[in-house]
Amino acid sequence: MDVSLKKKLSHIMIYSILTITTILILYPVIWIITGSLNPGDSLFSTRIIPESLSLAHYEYLFKETDYLLWYKNTLKIAFWNMVFSTFLVVTAAYAFSRFRFPGRKQGLMTMLVLQMFPGFMGMIAIYILLLQMNLLDNHWGLILVYAGGSIPFGAWLVKGYFDGLPKSLEEAAKIDGASHVKIFYKIMMPLSKPVLVFIAVTNFIGPWMDFIFAQLVLRSSEKKTLAVGLFEMVTGRGNSEFTNFAAGAVLVAVPITILFFIFQDHLTEGLKAGANKG
């Protein structure tokens, strides 16, 4: 077979796969958006774009439900989880990358093994621990669970990035009298911006999607997150709230989409850097 023909066929195959993948990804997104704008209570429509569009479901969320309160609670949890998770992940990664201490290898292996098990396996232990600490039905209890759970994967990723940074920069700073803390904040942090943005954004996004731990920890209606509130909206009501659920789901995606478009270069660069420099 001619080389040019082979190349054309490979290009056709690649673009065909990419086109099919794009359609499979975008169709559910378009369907849920148009469903949220579809008048009535049914998500089913014979057309991708309905003949008439309505914002009634969005108005219902803001006027007839506690959606704004759920949004505020989720935003609070996501923000503080981002702050604490990033701090814990980065400091742990720096310690494992630059210091040699007893139990270092065992700690790294423990974090590696912990990534193999799903988080819900520790639900009973987490529940008992939060109960003893009086942190049930408390946003801070949920934040601590998220922050602690982010350490194994995040620390390995950031450690790989730190390992790739030249130690000569730190040695030069030490000669000038800089402490480890100063080196960390003045040298390592600025050089690690891509991977730090990746860790911060992923930890901000996490609580928006989580339902299991939020349902386990939070009890009172004023403490609900978006995932819990929206789930209860379509539970036990004869499936009559799905268009309102679709509107709520679309609004959940707004901050995540904005963050992705703002930091997409940093996210891609941070993920590649952490993976390649290990």
Question: What pLDDT score was predicted for residue 225?
Answer: 92
- Side-chain-side CA neighbours of 139 within 13 Å: the count stands at 17
Question: Do 20 and 127 lie in a common domain?
Answer: no
Question: Do 130 and 191 lie in a common domain?
Answer: yes
Q: Please give the Cα distance from 175 to 182 (Å, whole number).
A: 13
Higher per-residue confidence, 87 vs 112:
87
What tokens were used for 217? 């920890």
Residue in this structure with the two tokens 């954004």, named with its chain if needed = 201
Q: Please give the Cα distance from 250 to 87 (Å, whole number).
A: 30
Question: Do 40 and 63 lie in a common domain?
Answer: no
Question: Do 214 and 253 lie in a common domain?
Answer: yes
Question: Do 100 and 30 lie in a common domain?
Answer: no
Count: domains in the chain: 2
Among residues 18, 38, 54, the one where a domain terminates is 54
Instruction: Kindly report, residue by residue over 124-169, the tens digit of the pLDDT.
Output: 888 898 889 998 889 999 999 999 888 888 888 888 888 888 888 8
Question: Do 178 and 127 lie in a common domain?
Answer: yes
Among residues 18, 39, 54, the one where a domain terminates is 54
What tokens were used for 74? 């989720």
59-79 in b/e burial notation, b at 16+ Cβ within 10 A?
A: ebbeeebebebbbebbbebbe
Q: What is the CATH number for 257?
A: 1.10.3720.10
Q: CA nearest 157: which of 271, 40, 25, 1?
A: 271
Percent over 90 (pLDDT), the chain: 17
Among residues 37, 54, 71, the one where a domain terminates is 54
Question: Do 48 and 35 lie in a common domain?
Answer: yes
Question: Do 21 and 109 lie in a common domain?
Answer: no
Instruction: Kindly report, residue by residue over 177-205, the tens digit of the pLDDT.
Output: 888 788 888 888 888 888 888 889 889 99
What tokens were used for 58? 């969005």
Instruction: Kindly report, residue by residue over 3-23, the tens digit of the pLDDT.
Output: 677 888 888 899 999 999 999
What tokens were used for 127? 């529940």
**Cβ neighbours of residue 245 closer than 8 Å, sequence gap 6 or more:** 230, 233, 234
- The pTM of this model reads 0.82
Question: Do 103 and 230 lie in a common domain?
Answer: yes
Kindly write down the DSSP assignment for every residue of 128-165, as one continuous string.
HHHHHTT-TT-HHHHHHHHHHHTHHHHHHHHHHHHHTS
Question: What pLDDT score was predicted for residue 55?
Answer: 86
Q: CA nearest 275: which of 197, 158, 125, 135?
A: 158
Question: Do 47 and 74 lie in a common domain?
Answer: no
Domain around 50: 1-54
Q: What is the mean pLDDT of residues 61-69?
A: 89
Q: Please give the Cα distance from 44 to 60 (Å, whole number).
A: 20
Question: Do 69 and 48 lie in a common domain?
Answer: no
Question: Do 48 and 88 lie in a common domain?
Answer: no
Identify whether the C-beta of residue 48 lies closer than 8 Å to the C-beta of residue 30. Answer: yes
